[in-house]
Amino acid sequence: MSPTTQAAIRDTDAPLLQLTDVTTHFRTPRGLVRAVDGVSFTLERGKSLGIVGESGSGKTILSRSIMGLLPTHGTVRSGSIKYAGREIGNLGRKEMRSVWGREMAMIFQDPMTSLNPLMKIGDQIAEPLRIHLKMNKVDAWATARKLLQDVRIPEPDRRLHQYPHELSGGMRQRVMIAIAMACGPTALFADEPTTALDVTVQAQILDLLGEQRRERNMSIVLVTHDLGVVAGHTDEIAVMYGGKLVEKASTRRLFAAMKMPYTEALLASIPKMSDASHTRLAVIPGRPPDLVNPPKGCRFAARCPYAQEKCIAEEPPLTVTADDPDHSYACWFPVGSPEYHEARARLSDKKNTVEAA
């Protein structure tokens, strides 16, 4: 990418990331797996978006689709992905290489396998600096040292000369963040970055990511299954289920006024510290939908306690709420609608009669 195009990317007012009807399917022996099916959203510069979902929801595939990190064989993609106004969805590997590292960076769940076990930490951080920013080795290592300080690794001089196996899991994840930050990207994709870490280390890493975001005015896309993590560290949340985006809102709004029964059910099934001991957890019955033959209507209908016939027959479109243009959801009878209350009443009646019996 030429320097002028790069400058253009950094100055433009267009939203940093704009997805329109992004679809990713995989050809497998079993059939076409519709991992991501028509997802659209925008992300502004400097904001953080949490993509929440369980395994099979398509959240990881979505972030890799945006990054362009999908296997070439057997993948069917469509839809538009615009990065700072520029279409990147159809770029080949070669063109994407100039985007990776410089504009978009990614950190993964398992830092042990994401770091090269045979390369010193210093070399690994210096690598993007030397390739993308054309630094010489001395400058690159000096920058690497500063980056280690930024990510709050003590004794950076010693660590630069160590190998990944000599570092703990939390430290390795910090190194990964340092590598990702090396060229000052405008967007960072974090795919379950703290799932494998202890809870105290998780808090440190999330805090670090937030700090880096503010300092660099960088956007973060945080992919996770943990609603607690997104509650404290994101501006907006997108909930995915069965390959579709089912709800998107600002974080505060989502927790205060969620519309999707799935979001509600997910929240109810998590054990919380504020609950008393032996609180019965509300379980979502059944299993996620088969992505090869997804149901015709709403993909959550089979497990939704409030599902009606319309839900099974027709797929609900993404609707914007009347009072908040940033809050969209895909449900025929969302939380708060009259049908929802009726269904709830019926359910609790049933529960009472069962208990009474």
Partner 1 sequence: MSDTTTPRRSLRQRLHLPRLGVLFGLVWLGSLTILTVLANHVPAAVPFIRYYDSKVKVDGKVKKYGFGPGLDAWFGTGKSAEDIFARCIYGAKLTLLIGIGATIIGLVVGALIGVLSGYFRGWTDRVAGIATDSLMSIPPLLLSLVLVLRLDDLKEQYSWMGWISRPWQLSLTLGLVSVAPFARIVRAQTMVLREREFVTAARSLGASRSRIIARELLPNLIPAMVTVAFTGLGILIAAEAGLAFLGMGVEEPHTWGKMIDIARDDIEKAWWATAFPCLMLFLTVLSFNLLGDELARRFDIREAAV
Partner 2 sequence: MAGSGTAHLRTEGDVLLRVENLLVEFPVGKTGLKVNAVSGISFDVLRGETLGLVGESGCGKSTTGRAVMQLRRPEGGSVVFEGKELTAMKAEDMSEARTRMQMIFQDPISSLNPRRKVRDIVMEPLNIWKRGSATDRSTKVDSLLEEVGIDPARAAESQPHQFSGGQCQRISIARSLVLDPTLIICDEPVSALDVSVQAQVLNLLEDLKAKHGLTMIFIAHDLAVVKNISDRIAVMYLGKMCEVAPSDALYTSPAHHYTAVLLNSIPVPDPEIAITKVAIEGEPPSPVLPPAGCRFNPRCPAADDRCRSEEPQLREVGAGHFVACHHPLVGGEAPVSVRTGD
Q: Minimum distance from CB of 307 to partner 2 (Å)?
A: 16
- Is residue 171 part of the contact set for partner 2 (CB under 8 A)? yes
76 binds partner 2 (CB under 8 A): no
Which entry of partner 1, partner 2, none binds 225, CB below 5 to 8 A by partner kind? Answer: partner 2
CA-closest candidate to residue 300, choices 54, 2, 39: 54
Whose Cβ is closer to partner 2: residue 88's or residue 249's? 249
| Region 76-135 residues binding partner 1, contact defined as CB under 8 A | 76-80, 87, 89-90
Binding piece for partner 1, criterion CB under 8 A, among 70-78, 157-165, 246-254, 289-297: 70-78
Binder among 28, 30, 74, 342 for partner 1 (CB under 8 A): 74
For helices 137-150 and 169-181, the axis angle rounded to 10 degrees is 120
Residue from 38, 46, 89, 169 in contact with partner 2 (CB under 8 A):
169
Report if residue 281 touches partner 1, rule: CB under 8 A. Answer: no
Q: What is the Cα–Cα distance from 247 to 250, expressed in whole angstroms?
A: 10
Question: How far apart are alpha carbons 238 and 269 in whole angstroms?
Answer: 18
CA 35 to CA 65: how far, in whole Å?
A: 11
252 makes contact with partner 2 (CB under 8 A): yes
Q: Which of 16, 47, 17, 53 is nearest to 233 (CA)?
A: 47
Q: Name the one range near partner 2 by CB under 8 A: 109-117, 123-131, 281-289, 347-355.
A: 281-289
d(C-alpha 40, C-alpha 23), whole Å: 9
Question: What are the φ/ψ torsions at residue 145 (nearest 5 degrees)?
Answer: -60, -45
- For residue 72, the SS3 value is coil
Task: Give the distance, in angstroms, between the CA of residue 289 and the centroid of all CA atoms in the same chain.
Answer: 20
Strands 328-329 and 319-320: antiparallel
The interface partner of residue 206, options being partner 2, partner 1, none and the CB cut-off 5 to 8 Å by kind, is partner 2
**From the list partner 1, partner 2, none, partner contacted by residue 79 (C-beta under 5 to 8 A by kind):** partner 1
Site residues (vs partner 1, CB under 8 A): 27, 72-80, 87, 89-90
